[in-house]
Structure 1
Amino acid sequence: MSRTYFGTDGIRGRAGTGAMTAAFMVDLAIAVGTYFKANAQTRRVVIGKDTRRSGYMLENALTAGFTAAGMDVFALGPLPTPAVGLLTHSMRAVLGVMISASHNPHYDNGIKFFGPDGFKLSDQIEHEIEALLASRAFDVDPDHIGRVTRVNEAPSRYVEYAKTTVPDRVRLHGLKVVLDCANGAAYRAAPKVLWELGAEVIAMGVSPDGYNINKGCGSTSPEAAAQLIRDTGADIGICLDGDADRIIVLDETGAVVDGDQIMALLAGRWAAAGRLNHNTLVSTVMSNLGLENHLAAQGITLVRTDVGDRYVVQAMRDGGFNLGGEQSGHIVLTDHATTGDGLVAGLQVLAMLKDSDEPASRLTQVFTPVPQILENVRYAPGTDPLKDAAVQDAIAAGEAELGREGRLLIRKSGTEPLIRVMGEGPDRNDLARIIRTICDKVSAV
């Protein structure tokens, strides 16, 4: 059963249009508040946000809707997404809300919901919320309007918790770290955590103005951080995205270390220490074949899921696994967090670097990736290129040519009107030709 508003990771769109309007947010909050009020003993909801200017509009609209539904709102202010999951549970809230479009530009925004356990909502609950929203089977009782409380100490709570995820014996003295906070939600908390753990922190992306989130910085644009590493002689770089639930590491040369390499590093170290539950790593269909081959050689099982960290988390919970993530940099450590946490994942890498005699370039290059190409093709609303016969024929021809030595993965984005065309194979030139042919057919629809 398809959903009208919820996508791969909550609800997302261009601010001021569609679902990202103040009017819709009021109705959404009343519906969500009504649902949780009927299915829980408490009426607390916590709301965090990143640094987008539109966050003010959406936060106030959501607050109006939740209080109208009789929910008590605790406003956390700018805070990373994983911190909202943490505080939802620790503050005994029945619901957590994060206002963010993650790595998207400032003109987009989105809403992510967390249940009372701090984990993102299931597909089933999202279906039930959408049905309630469509039926408008909710009323506002003037005798039971909720209250609003601003939680000024929320960032400090997260800072102190993040520091506990590093072993007591490990301190980061002597490490020079470039930290790019993407002008986003972690711009205050992340530099404080690293500095208090002893690192020399060279921070960038810490001057948000409401419009510069992810702009030329952060995990999706690491070039400026890479140059800063080379200019300052830093040992390593940590690049977060707008809501700090994903990470890209840069070594001392400025080279990018993606989520697959980070997961390989953590899985190998944790398995050797007996910390990797069931000797299994969970990742998505996007992870490189080289990662799978490397893990198999170590006797570590790779479980693949659909794209989206919520599906990774669900598989981890179902199987009792404690390490998972995505190539894009969502690293999920359920010993410490209920969703991807870029800062906490980065701390694990920094702790390993501190304990190692190797530079970051050696520590983090764990396996040799199979050539992989990913292209995004925008499509017009109302069309479905994946049902087009010419597109299907191009995909079939590509799969036949790659055979067992490679693979194709073509899918719709869950957050944007894009067809994502990904392929892996032994020869990059042949692979590029196959991908280009499919993209051309998609563009022609």
Structure 2
Amino acid sequence: MIGFGTDGIRGQFNTELTVEIAVKLGEFLGNKNKGKRILIGEDTRISSPILAKAVAVGASSMGANVYLMGVCPTPALAYVIPTEKFAAGVMISASHNPYYDNGLKVFNQQGMKLTLEEEAEIEQYIQGETQLVRPISAEVAKIIEYPQGLEHYIKHIESFTKRNFSGLRVVLDCANGSSISTAEQIFTDLGADVLAINTSADGFNINENCGSTHINVVRDEVIKHQADFGFAFDGDADRCLAVDGRGNIIDGDKLLYVLAKDMMQDDTLKDNTVVTTVMANLGFMKSCEKLGIHVEITDVGDKYVFEAMHKNDYKLGGEQSGHVILKDFATTGDGVLTALKVTDIMVKNEASLEELTKDCATYPQVLEKVMVENKHEMMELAIIQDKIKEIETNLGDDGRVLVRPSGTEPVIRVMVEAKEHELCQKYVNDMIKVINNI
């Protein structure tokens, strides 16, 4: 039975993720929030309005009033929930996945993702392990269209800068996804000369050869139109990557570097700390170290990044994939907000994106995976741990090795970073040889 992963309930529509599951999720939330309001948003997949209505039917049938926000970014939903006092929210999206997948991301009244205990409660109900008492007809509630929620979010985002972006030419790749509802309008309102691409969502083309998973598309457009820079978003607009005016790809590490350096200079980076995952490039970590910025490391997943930020009230965190969390402004990653803040820093410093990122080093990296029968048992073997220690000793401070079980596949991922690509490949091969010989 399908359940919660690191980013909600996700699977192929009508195969793993069904309408019945969406209705059950809605019933659980509706029962828990009788007489209260629940907010639902969706991305542009063909199945998203189907699942949105299924959640709405379940929740309203159990006594919660449901408000439909329509197509919107995940961070828009997360913002509107607490500011407009909704009891909970559900975003219908599978983020950067192909159109045939979809997902149910659940948020609490603070606009934050659920705890493991809360997720387990929902899973038990979906799997039929617990039952709920259905209300009589007089206790059921309404389903209400709520497009004004998106308008409130756009005004909120635009309020983060008083600077004008006139004179800047920017390419925005909206991935035929949620950012079509916000990105172009926000940058245009702030005075930029905007070329928005992949804005014709048809239900099937979300993330298809576009967006942050196909960064070469926006890079080609930046070069072709001699733009100052470009941003590419994913399907639900909670992450973004960038390209500078020369066509250099600016990943999440470098975006975090730009933001962290600016916040440190403004004395808004609490404890001079930025939170990221074990997948962050070693060059990024060393570049931050040079500035006096501490890098806090978590497991892979924005959920773990936010947990570390929330626990210590750190203000900035994110992932190499472009999922950046600015805690004073959002409870989740926000691709359009990230793009806006980075552009604001460019205007403030009268500097290009290339100039702002040139001091952030990137070490060569080799990442490969090995199919195994039992990834967790394999990781506990002494021969594996001994080999990891041997490679760590050989690399010293000039590199690192990361060997971890995949969260979604029966594989072990092996990653090595070092000053030379050849050294990375050598140690990856050595590690894989040990795994294959077991």
TM superposition score normalised by structure 1 = 0.91
Which of 391, 396, 411 is residue 401 of structure 1 equivalent to? 391
Instruction: Please name the residue that 2:112 is paired with.
Output: 119
State how far apart, in whole Å, the 2-side matches of 1:32 and 1:298 are. Answer: 46
State how far apart, in whole Å, the 2-side matches of 1:244 and 1:320 are. Answer: 24
**Judging changes above 3 Å, is the alpha-carbon distance between structure 1 residues 221 and 49 closer, same or farther for their aligned structure 2 residues?**
same
Structure 1 residue 252: Cα displacement? 0.6
Q: SS at the partner of 1:327? A: coil
Letter in 1 for 2:387: A
Structure 1 residue 96: Cα displacement? 0.9
Q: SS at the partner of 2:258? A: helix
Give yes or no for the alignment of 1:316 onto 2:309.
Answer: yes
CA contact (8 A) 2:176 2:201 kept: yes
State how far apart, in whole Å, the 2-side matches of 1:180 and 1:296 are. Answer: 32
Letter in 2 for 1:28: L
CA RMSD of superposed structures (Å):
2.4
Instruction: Please name the residue that 2:154 is paired with.
Output: 159
State how far apart, in whole Å, the 1-side matches of 2:205 and 2:430 are. Answer: 35
Instruction: Please name the residue that 2:377 is paired with.
Output: 387
Structure 1 residue 223: Cα displacement? 0.9
Instruction: Please name the residue that 1:177 is paired with.
Output: 170
State how far apart, in whole Å, the 1-side matches of 2:437 and 2:106 are. Answer: 37
State how far apart, in whole Å, the 1-side matches of 2:106 and 2:87 are. Answer: 11
Instruction: Please name the residue that 1:146 is paired with.
Output: 141
1:291-341 deviations in Å (ceiling 9; x for gaps): 222222222221111111121111111111111111111110011111000
Instruction: Please name the residue that 1:88 is paired with.
Output: 81
Structure 1 residue 175: Cα displacement? 0.4
State how far apart, in whole Å, the 2-side matches of 1:439 and 1:110 are. Answer: 34
Structure 1 residue 389: Cα displacement? 7.9
TM superposition score normalised by structure 2 = 0.92
Structure 1 residue 225: Cα displacement? 0.8
1:123-180 deviations in Å (ceiling 9; x for gaps): 22112222344423212213321210011223222211110122x2x11000000000
State how far apart, in whole Å, the 2-side matches of 1:46 and 1:287 are. Answer: 34
1:81-139 deviations in Å (ceiling 9; x for gaps): 00010111122111111111111111111111111011111222112222344423212
Unaligned 5+ runs, structure 2: none
Instruction: Please name the residue that 1:190 is paired with.
Output: 183
Give yes or no for the alignment of 1:27 onto 2:44.
Answer: no
CA contact (8 A) 1:402 1:425 kept: no
State how far apart, in whole Å, the 1-side matches of 2:314 and 2:188 are. Answer: 31
Give yes or no for the alignment of 1:256 onto 2:249.
Answer: yes
State how far apart, in whole Å, the 1-side matches of 2:249 and 2:410 are. Answer: 27
Letter in 1 for 2:149: A
Larger mean CA deviation between 124-133 and 269-278 belongs to: 124-133
**Judging changes above 3 Å, is the alpha-carbon distance between structure 1 residues 304 and 359 closer, same or farther for their aligned structure 2 residues?**
same
State how far apart, in whole Å, the 2-side matches of 1:225 and 1:90 are. Answer: 34
CA contact (8 A) 1:261 1:365 kept: no
Letter in 2 for 1:66: A
**Judging changes above 3 Å, is the alpha-carbon distance between structure 1 residues 141 and 443 closer, same or farther for their aligned structure 2 residues?**
farther
Which of 354, 357, 360 is residue 367 of structure 1 equivalent to? 360
Instruction: Please name the residue that 2:231 is paired with.
Output: 238
Unaligned 5+ runs, structure 1: none
Give yes or no for the alignment of 1:5 onto 2:3.
Answer: yes
1:170-213 deviations in Å (ceiling 9; x for gaps): 11000000000110001121100000000000110111111111
State how far apart, in whole Å, the 1-side matches of 2:133 and 2:380 are. Answer: 50
State how far apart, in whole Å, the 1-side matches of 2:143 and 2:374 are. Answer: 44
State how far apart, in whole Å, the 1-side matches of 2:116 and 2:190 are. Answer: 39
Q: SS at the partner of 1:179? A: strand
Identity of aligned residues (%): 36
State how far apart, in whole Å, the 2-side matches of 1:237 and 1:158 are. Answer: 22
CA contact (8 A) 1:9 1:415 kept: no
Which of 411, 418, 433 is residue 404 of structure 2 equivalent to? 411
Q: SS at the partner of 2:242? A: strand
